[in-house]
Structure 1
Amino acid sequence: MNSSKIFLLAGSFLLYFLVQVLMFKNMVIFGVAFCFLYVLYILLLPVEMKTIPMMLIAFILGLGVDMFYDTMGMHIFSLVAIAFVRNFWLGILTPTGGYDENLQPSMLNMGLGWFVTYSLPLFFLHHLLFFYIDSLGTNLFFPVVQKIVASTIFVFVMSIIVQLLFYRRRRGI
């Protein structure tokens, strides 16, 4: 990976972090749909990125979000779990010809159908882990399921909007 790519990844890391803690921290729709858009950063990392560096990046991002949300490691755990599962899930979804080198697995590069099958289960897993940890020791099954489903749909829609507004398709060489 060249230095311009590393600089771009570091800049987008900082941008996702700042947007999450400054804009989306208090964005909750109807008290059930939370916007954890920072998960999209991990999902959009290049396909060839190895699991351990990705888990380290997820740990740092989750730690920063946890510090601002006062959630004591819940964001770290759920985001590192997503980073751990992501390459396995990408392996399952590998197209016939394989992935291009330095490909960002975005909706614009891979298509909406592929992005739905890639991101929705990972968003769901993140929210399942996060809200399960949040509700430990309580008997609030239906409110937790409602938060998981509503937040997953909300973050997925927001991720589509962000990609359409701020990302561009990779051009062929």
Structure 2
Amino acid sequence: MSVVGMLVRQLLRYGLYAGAYILLISQLSLFDRGWCFFYLGFLLFLPLGTPVAVQLLLGFAMGLTMDITYDTGGLHAAAAVLLAYLRPWVLRLLTPRDGYDAQDSVNVHQMGWQWFMVYLLLLVGLHHLAYFLLELGSFRHFGLTLTRILASIAFTSVAMLIVQLLFFPVRRGRG
């Protein structure tokens, strides 16, 4: 795929994840304790070969879009940049013995359930921990915040798993 084609594809993905979150998913809650941060799918499912600097810029752009939309003063941007910063570390941590192939992507069908769930829960968990602790600004109501973090991790992770199962192609399996 050409560079222009890849750029157009990523811009469309950006618009789809941001638009779906802003127009529909942000209105959903899980018992008023958990929220689905659907826009994270854009960052989580970037191609494995995406340079770190580009990931950081995309994380900031996506977070800033959410902050401008919801007037959250940089909470989304800070947490999304943290996710983009930690993603290469998590990918290195989870590198298969044979390494990643050039055509590999973050795909539950391709990488396997165990790999995908560790990847997803680590990054979503770290993002949510940063987001909700920054939102709280103290440890005064930590029990309630911990409930919100755990419920949101569950809600977001299930949504990302559904996206993977519905929209990512089934390809060859890993050994």
TM over 0.5: yes
**Who is 1:87 aligned against?**
88
CA offset digits 1:33-92 (Å, max 9, x no partner): 101011121111111111111000111111111111111100000000010010011011
> What is the TM-score with the length of structure 2 in the denominator?
0.93
**Deviation readout 1:130-153 (Å, 9 max, x if unpaired):** 000111146111000000011001
Kindly report which structure 2 residues correspond to 1:1-173, keeping only aligned pairs within 5 A, or say none: 2=2, 3-137=4-138, 139-170=140-171
Cα offsets for 1:112-131 (capped at 9, x unmatched): 11101111011000000000
- Which range is displaced more, 43-52 or 124-133? 43-52
Number of matched pairs: 172
Deviation of 1:171 (Å):
5.9
| CA separation of 1:138 and 1:114: change in aligned 2, threshold 3 A | closer
RMSD: 1.5
- Structure 2 counterpart SS, 1:25: helix
More deviation, 118-127/105-114: 105-114
1:25, 1:69 within 8 Å by CA — same for their partners in 2? Answer: no
Cα distance in 2, alignment partners of residues 4 and 111 from structure 1: 28
Native 8 Å contact 1:33 1:147 kept in 2? yes
Q: Which moved more, 1:131-140 or 1:74-83?
A: 131-140
Q: What is the rounded CA distance, in whole Å, between the counterparts of 1:25 and 1:79 in structure 2?
A: 16
Question: Partners in 2 of 1:113 and 1:73 — Cα distance?
Answer: 33
SS in structure 2 opposite 1:34? Answer: coil
TM-score scaled to structure 1, two decimals? 0.94
The letter of the residue matching 1:57 is L
Q: Structure 1, unaligned stretches of length 5 or more?
A: none
Q: Write the deviation string for residues 95-127 of structure 1: whole angstroms up to 9, x where unpaired.
A: 011101132112122111110111101100000
Q: Secondary structure at the match of 1:33?
A: coil
1:26 Cα deviation from its structure 2 partner: 1.6
Counterpart contact for 1:35–1:154, Cα < 8 Å: yes
